[in-house]
């Protein structure tokens, strides 16, 4: 019963997202509500061309399906530049997604993230705030960090840690620079960990509360290339002792579960793998675990971001995908950081509940190879 309720929630959530954000009618309506910013509102104050193609030779992937899709994804974004924008004007930053709006319903897309371009502010909430409540917190200028994406650990690294590291590496921020961050992101356990263990704790964070609307005269926002992961990895350079064999799985109340997991586990057990659920561990315990990983098998998901805490040049990784979702998020930074061995296996397409199966014979072959590299 509990699993059926959870599956129903997943279906209703995807339906709501499709109707309210991704459907053609929803996008048409939003295009009529929100205007593009006037010329001069957004300017590029820094741009640096980058290309990460040299990190990938594709010889490590013997699964042609995974190779073709990871290759296509990686090459599509290989030339992403490092860019810093400066946005000026009478600007409001709403609290739900951290999106910026200039007078005249001008939506500043540079205040969002590349991964969530379909998101738009609530027009009703905007009208209530602008014409009825009319209470704002005022700042002259801020550096815009993250209002929403960092609720996911992977996006927290991509959209908060990486841009701040890029700006810091190039002397574009100081300890006094006000960094605007959503309270819901700021309070996440992994953010608290980063604040307590890195120079991030010395920075001047401006935390936007869940009902707080902010007015600024200008803000800066950075979008950066994947090569910044070299700096990201350095801030996590604690002592590591790679020796454990880990299978990172997902509990049934989450999506992307393997339906024949019992059969896969019989293949892994003789190799003394440990079955781990990240949600059972505190974030500090997750960090400790990944510092000790040597052989890693895991279902594609945000938990794989914690491989940044491992001894990447020493580890062997097998990432598990559904045919319906093959994404190069982790493959890219692992290759950039010199992972010892990476392979992928692609299972069936998602069923209605976003679960899938893995071919057991192919899985066993890949595990044998993983253990001999």
Q: Where are the beta strands (DSSP E) in 242-351?
A: 244-249, 274-277, 293-299, 316-321, 341-346
Instruction: Tell me what pLDDT residue 357 has.
Output: 94
Do the Cβ atoms of 188 and 150 come closer than 8 Å?
Answer: yes
Element (H, E) at 90: strand 82-93
Instruction: Please state, as a whole number, how many other Cβ atoms lie within 10 Å of the Cβ of residue 273.
Output: 20
Task: Name the nearest CA neighbour of 350 among 263, 259, 277, 261.
Answer: 259
Q: Is the pLDDT of residue 30 over 70?
A: no
Locate tokens 């296996």: which residue?
345
Instruction: Give every CB contact of residue 372 below 8 A, 6+ residues apart in sequence.
Output: none
With pLDDT > 70 as the criterion, what percentage of the chain qualifies? 91
Banded pLDDT at 131 (limits 50, 70, 90) = confident
- Give me the pLDDT at residue 14, please: 57
How many whole angstroms from its chain centre is CA 310?
18
Domain boundaries, the chain: 82-224, 244-370
Angstrom CA distances, 126 to 98, 138, 141, stand at 12, 17, 21
DSSP β-bridge partners for residue 216 = 91, 139
Mean pLDDT of the chain, nearest integer? 90
Give me the CATH code for the 244-370 domain, please.
Answer: 3.40.50.360
Confidence of residue 13 (pLDDT cuts 50, 70, 90): low
Provide the total of helices (H) and of strands (E) in the chain, helices listed first. 13, 13
What is the pLDDT, as a whole number, of residue 95?
96
Predicted TM-score (pTM) of this structure = 0.89
**Which of 335, 337, 355 minimizes the C-alpha distance to 347?**
355
**How many other C-beta atoms lie within 10 A of the C-beta of residue 262?**
8
In terms of phi and psi (left: phi > 0; alpha: psi -120 to 50; beta: otherwise), the region of 39 is beta
pLDDT digits (tens, 9 = 90+) for 289-328: 999 999 999 999 999 999 999 999 999 999 999 999 899 9
């Amino acid at each position: 019963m509990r699993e059926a309720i959870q599956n129903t929630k997943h279906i209703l959530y995807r339906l709501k997202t499709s109707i309210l954000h991704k459907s053609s009618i929803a996008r048409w309506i939003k295009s009529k509500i929100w205007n593009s910013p006037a010329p001069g509102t957004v300017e590029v104050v820094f741009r640096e061309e980058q290309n990460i193609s040299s990190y990938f030779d594709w010889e490590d992937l013997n699964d042609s399906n995974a190779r073709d899709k990871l290759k296509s994804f990686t090459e599509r974004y290989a030339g992403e530049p490092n860019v810093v924008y400066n946005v000026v004007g009478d600007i409001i930053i709403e609290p739900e997604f951290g999106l910026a709006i200039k007078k005249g319903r001008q939506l500043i897309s540079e205040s969002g993230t590349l991964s969530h371009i379909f998101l738009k502010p609530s027009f009703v909430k905007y009208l209530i705030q602008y014409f009825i409540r009319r209470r704002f917190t005022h700042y002259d200028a801020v550096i815009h960090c993250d209002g929403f994406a960092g609720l996911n650990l992977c996006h927290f690294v991509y959209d908060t840690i990486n841009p701040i590291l890029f700006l810091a590496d190039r002397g574009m921020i100081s300890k006094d620079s006000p960094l605007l961050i959503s309270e819901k992101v700021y309070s996440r356990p992994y953010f608290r960990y980063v604040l307590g263990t890195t120079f991030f704790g010395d920075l001047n964070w401006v935390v936007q509360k869940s009902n707080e609307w902010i007015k600024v005269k200008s803000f800066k926002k950075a979008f950066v290339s994947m090569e910044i992961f070299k700096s990201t990895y350095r801030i996590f350079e604690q002592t590591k002792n790679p020796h454990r064999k880990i299978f990172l799985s997902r509990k049934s109340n989450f999506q992307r579960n393997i339906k024949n997991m019992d059969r896969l586990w019989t293949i892994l057990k003789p190799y003394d793998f440990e079955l781990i659920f990240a949600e059972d561990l505190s974030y500090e315990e997750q960090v400790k675990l990944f510092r000790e990983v040597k052989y890693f098998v895991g279902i594609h998901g945000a938990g794989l971001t914690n491989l940044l805490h491992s001894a990447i040049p020493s580890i062997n990784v097998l990432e598990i995908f559904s045919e319906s979702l093959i994404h190069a998020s982790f493959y890219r930074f692992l290759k950039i950081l010199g992972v010892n061995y990476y392979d992928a296996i692609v299972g069936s397409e998602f069923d209605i509940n976003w679960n899938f199966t893995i071919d057991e014979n192919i899985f066993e072959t890949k595990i044998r190879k993983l253990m001999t590299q």
